[in-house]
Amino acid sequence: MLDIPLMQDNIVEEDKRALIDFLEQTDRFTQGPQVRAFEREWSEWLGCRHSVFVNSGASANLITMMALAETLGKGEIIVPAITWSSDISSVLLAGHTPVFVDIDFKNLAMDENEVLNAISERTKAVFLTHVLGFNGLTENLELELRKRGVVLIEDACESHGTRFARDGRDAKVGSVGFASNFSFYYAHHMSTVEGGMVCTDDGEFYQLVCMLRSHGMLRENPDPAVRELESARWPDLNPEFTFMMPGFNVRSSEMNAVIGRKQLPRLDNAIRQRRENCELFVENLRSDRYFTDFDLRGQSNYALVTLLREADSELFARVCEKLRSENVEFRRGTAGGGNMTRQPFVRRALPDVCPESFPHADHVHSFGLYTGNYPGLEKGKIERLCTLLNTL
């Protein structure tokens, strides 16, 4: 029996010991110096100016979309039909209208031409998901968005360390767009158990996100000049409790930050091992039966994707049955449960959207799945998994 879980040993003994040592020495548990240190270290690793640590990637999505509504106003946000539910939820909850486009099989991300065709005078941003560690961005798409003045937001929650060739150099995804979101959920490339990050180079956007993270409070604005100016505008209010906008409490804790700081130095090596695992899997899979034409340049694979090349319900059922019998954990539909336009909350919010309008996403929905990929996954198990799939 293969026995491959989705994730294994992502919180190791040295992480637990660091947390125990911290708990024995501190009397500060809520957001404080550990959070600020983790934000600085993450910004340096990613290559951005500002990072804001929150309690999940979903919360990072939410306050990013809320901050966009504050700065650009509400409008249309172009989103992929294959993504995680919180991307779409955040767009709806912030008062924007999601505009869905189909995906490209080679990276499971939004089809570049469909994105450009969907842009209108109502478009506020493109919310691009780098799915399962594949780079979803092209130089042409980035250039066209810049020319048209359309903001790019990157969801890199599953794609820590994925790289994008830009201006003759490699940039990490999440450092390319106006803002980006990361997740540190247990199963991702590195973990704070629960946690997420909003990243940006824009100082004003950074200030908004800091306030939105903590109830919209003025005192959370990192710029003292802004705090002083706004306090003078509202002299009848206590500056410690001046709420500038409707906000949330999506702060993370010192304990989560301690684990993140301990894991970050190991991240690059974990990414290298994930890349090697993915390349081995794709090289050994039958290309006549399964889709293997993925664009692996710069990938930082979160999970191993099994996608039938042709629609075949009977074969897909045999694949699922065999994986279960071998105790190989998997998720159907790849990222987020398949074609998002088939989900109940989307159908209620956008009843005129037709799921069949996104045939590539629908194919992934019905004939795609992923299995676990993590640094401790033995190469021999990957090869045995390929043999198992190839003989079905």
- Residues 190 and 270: beta-carbon distance below 8 Å: yes
- Residue 261 is predicted with a pLDDT of 98
- For residue 306, is pLDDT > 80? yes
Mean pLDDT over 128-139 rounds to: 96
For 192-210, write each residue's pLDDT tens digit. Answer: 999 999 999 999 999 999 9
Q: What CATH number matches the domain at 267-390, 3.90.1150.10, 3.20.20.450, 3.40.640.10, 2.60.120.310?
A: 3.90.1150.10
- Residue 203 is predicted with a pLDDT of 97
Dihedral of CA 293/379/17/187: which sign?
Answer: positive
Quickly state the pLDDT bin for 314 (edges 50, 70, 90). Answer: very high
- For residue 216, is pLDDT > 90? yes
Quick one: which of 241, 199, 194 has its CA closest to 217? Answer: 241
For 11-40, write each residue's pLDDT tens digit. Answer: 999 999 999 999 999 999 999 999 999 999
Quickly state the pLDDT bin for 323 (edges 50, 70, 90). Answer: very high
Quickly state the pLDDT bin for 374 (edges 50, 70, 90). Answer: very high
Mean pLDDT over 351-380 rounds to: 97
The structure tokens 């906000």 sit at 247
Could you write out the three-class secondary structure of the chain? CCCECCCCCCCCHHHHHHHHHHHHHCCCCCCCHHHHHHHHHHHHHHCCCEEEEECCHHHHHHHHHHHHHHHHCCCEEEEECECCHHHHHHHHHCCCEEEEECECCCCCCECHHHHHHHCCCCEEEEEEECHHHCCCCCHHHHHHHHHHCCEEEEECCCCCCCEEEECCEEEECCCCCCEEEEECCCCCCCCCCCCEEEEECCHHHHHHHHHHHECCEHHHCCCHHHHHHHHHHCCCCCHHHCECCCCCECECCHHHHHHHHHHHHHHHHHHHHHHHHHHHHHHHCCCCCECCCCCCCCCCCCEEEEEECCCCHHHHHHHHHHHHHCCECEEECCHHHCEHHHCHHHHHHCCCCCHHHCHHHHHHHHHEEEEECCCCCCHHHHHHHHHHHHCC
Apex 198 CA angle, 159 and 177, nearest 5: 65
Quick one: which of 277, 279, 309, 275 has its CA closest to 133? Answer: 275
- Residue 110 is predicted with a pLDDT of 97
Quickly state the pLDDT bin for 168 (edges 50, 70, 90). Answer: confident
- Residue 169 is predicted with a pLDDT of 75
Q: In the chain, pLDDT over 90 holds for what percent of residues?
A: 96
Q: Where in the chain is the domain with CATH 3.90.1150.10?
A: 267-390
Is CATH 3.40.640.10 correct for 13-264? yes
Mean pLDDT over 99-123 rounds to: 98
- Residue 337 is predicted with a pLDDT of 84
- Residue 305 is predicted with a pLDDT of 98
Q: Compute and round to an integer the Cα radius of gyration of the chain.
A: 21
- Residue 187 is predicted with a pLDDT of 85
Note the pTM of the prediction, 2 decimals. Answer: 0.96
- For residue 3, is pLDDT > 90? yes
- For residue 335, is pLDDT > 90? no
For 61-84, write each residue's pLDDT tens digit. Answer: 999 999 999 999 999 999 999 999
- Residue 170 is predicted with a pLDDT of 87
Distance CA 255, CA 277 (A): 31
Mean pLDDT over 206-220 rounds to: 98
Neighbours of 129 (CB within 10 A): 27
Q: What is the mean pLDDT of the chain?
A: 96
Quickly state the pLDDT bin for 142 (edges 50, 70, 90). Answer: very high
